Amino acid sequence: MNDFIKSIKKRDPAAKSTLSIILTYPGVKAVFFHQIANFFHLAGFDLIARIISQTSRFFTGIEIHPGAKIGKNLFIDHGMGVVIGETSEIGNDVTIYHAVTLGGISPSIDSERQRHEKRHPTIGNDVVIGSGAQIIGPVKVGSGSRIAANAVVVNDVPEDSTMVGVPAKAIKTGNKGKFRPYGVDQEVIDEK
């Protein structure tokens, strides 16, 4: 928990104090609620799990399906409008801004069959997903990648890539050590 708070301070220049993070960060509450919802989901109490998830949505504006698998230190900043689907998998130290979707392709060709299939994205470690980005379908986003604000990702993303646009295109590979993720890399855009 202490590590988690420290990692948030590192990631958010507006984070003033530990007390402020615990009391006033909706993303921290949403992840906490999810751990409870996920516990009931794994125990087979689907309805209870979903009621907890929806209660969390009401208080935080963040909707995480109880079935989603989430790694360590997920930081959802601001968070309003985030939707994380049932079969999503998220690695460690991922940062997600508000209005991001990890969604399924839908309406399904065959809902009854799809019910037991992987329909949502798999996100690697150290990924940053900008506000309004839509990641749709059972795609993989490689570790260290950055998804720009409002980008739409419908195909796999290699490691350490920066994706921008609708649908998203790689404007950069080899992000290692670089940090311009929330928006997009300006120099590359200027070139276009």
Name the β-bridge partners of 28.
Answer: none
24 binds a copy of itself (CB under 8 A): yes
Catalytic site includes residue 98: yes
Could you say whether residue 130 binds a copy of itself (CB under 8 A)? yes
Between CA 106 and CA 184 the distance in angstroms is: 29
Q: 26 — phi, psi (to 5°)?
A: -60, -35
79: left (phi over 0), alpha (psi -120 to 50) or beta: left
Per-residue binding letters, 56-95, with a copy of itself (x by CB under 8 A): -xxx-x-x-x-----------xx-xx-x-xx--------x
Q: Are 136 and 106 in contact (CB under 8 A)?
A: no
- Given candidates 1, 97, 129, 175, which one binds a copy of itself under the rule CB under 8 A? 97
What SS3 class is residue 17?
Answer: coil
**Tokens 């994706």 sit at which residue?**
163
Q: Check residue 1 for interaction with a copy of itself (CB under 8 A).
A: no
Site for a copy of itself in 133-172 (CB under 8 A): 134, 136-137, 148-152, 154-155, 164-167
Residue among 2, 3, 14, 176 that touches a copy of itself (CB under 8 A): 14
Residue numbers annotated as active site: 98
